């Protein structure tokens, strides 16, 4: 095996790692967005769901064990995903200048990878902000969160226009990331064929749109007074 072939093979392995860890995130994100939509069903439904997350199988698994296991899995997948992204980025930077193929990258590819990189950074910053907001309750916007239920914390937060905006911008970045990510994942897993490109594109756009709107509906609902 030549050095070039070996490099290409490890690139494919890294891309598959990204695809699989990315797919895990898409599943989490869709599930999370679906859970948040319970805001439209009232306080009992949403608070009951938040309670269930902490104690999903009472009498069998002690409270919080499931949540901590899931948090650990999420953190591990995030680490794997980011590490693989950095590895691909460093390899592409090194290759530039020596490899003719990389030098003749199309503008579209460069644009996509740049969007993915910056989108990824915005999402990482958002995750930190989001955990400080709703998990550790460090940023308490619109009230004393320790005195509020999960439902009331959502209402207190998204009654402010700047919080709607603070979530909407990263979610737009996430939607773009998911769109390109789904597309690349399908290609990396080897299911992409020229005649299926239209369908794959349609699937990628649909998943991205579902993620954006499903997440943003509760904040919009609160802001415009449909949820109070
Ligand atoms: C409008 C968008 C979003 C809203 C309103 C929202 C809301 C929430 C709320 C209320 C919680 C706390 C749940 C609880 O009390 O148990 C939470 C937790 C969390 N959210 Fe979101 N979320 C949004 C988007 C996202 C996105 C896009 C991601 C990931 C990319 C994400 C990742 C997380 C994580 C990792 C937790 C922590 C779960 C935990 O360990 O307690 N969220 N979110």
What is the crossing angle of helices 107-130 and 65-95, to 10°?
150
pLDDT tens-digit readout, 165-218: 999 999 999 999 999 999 988 888 877 777 788 899 999 999 999 999 999 999
CATH of 3-223, one of 1.20.1300, 1.10.3470, 3.30.1460, 1.10.760: 1.20.1300
Distance (Å) from CA 124 to ligand 1 centroid: 13
Would you say the CB of residue 71 lies under 6 angstroms from ligand 1?
yes
Q: On the CB side of 147, how many CA atoms lie within 13 Å of its CA?
A: 5
Q: The whole model's pTM is what?
A: 0.89
**Cα of 60 from ligand 1 centre, angstroms:** 26
Ligand 1 pocket, residue 135 CB under 6 Å: yes
Contacts of 146 (CB under 8 A, 6+ apart): 137, 140
| Structure tokens, 144 | 């004393």
* Measured distance CA(204)–CA(175) in Å, rounded: 10
3-state secondary structure of 56: coil
Q: In this predicted model, what pLDDT tens digit does every residue of 49-71 receive, in sequence order? A: 999 999 999 999 999 999 999 99
């Amino acid at each position: 095996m030549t050095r070039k072939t070996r490099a290409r093979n490890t690139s494919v392995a890294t891309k598959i790692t990204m695809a699989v860890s990315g797919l895990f995130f898409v599943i989490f994100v869709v599930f999370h967005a679906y859970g948040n939509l319970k805001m439209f069903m009232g306080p009992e439904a949403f608070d009951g769901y938040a309670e269930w997350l902490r104690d999903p199988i009472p009498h069998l698994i002690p409270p919080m064990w499931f949540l901590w296991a899931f948090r650990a899995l999420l953190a591990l997948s995030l680490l794997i995903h980011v590490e693989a992204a950095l590895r691909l980025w460093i390899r592409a930077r090194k290759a530039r200048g020596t490899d003719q193929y990389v030098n003749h990258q199309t503008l579209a590819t460069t644009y996509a990878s740049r969007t993915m990189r910056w989108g990824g950074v915005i999402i990482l910053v958002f995750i930190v902000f989001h955990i400080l907001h709703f998990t550790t309750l460090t940023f308490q916007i619109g009230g004393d969160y320790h005195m509020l239920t999960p439902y009331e914390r959502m209402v207190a937060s998204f009654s402010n226009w700047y919080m709607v905006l603070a979530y909407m911008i990263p979610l737009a970045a996430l939607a773009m990331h998911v769109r390109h990510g789904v597309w690349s994942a399908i290609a990396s897993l080897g299911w992409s064929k020229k005649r299926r490109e239209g369908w794959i594109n349609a699937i990628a756009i649909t998943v991205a749109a579902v993620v954006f709107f499903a997440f943003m509906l509760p904040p919009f609902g609160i802001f415009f007074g449909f949820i109070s």
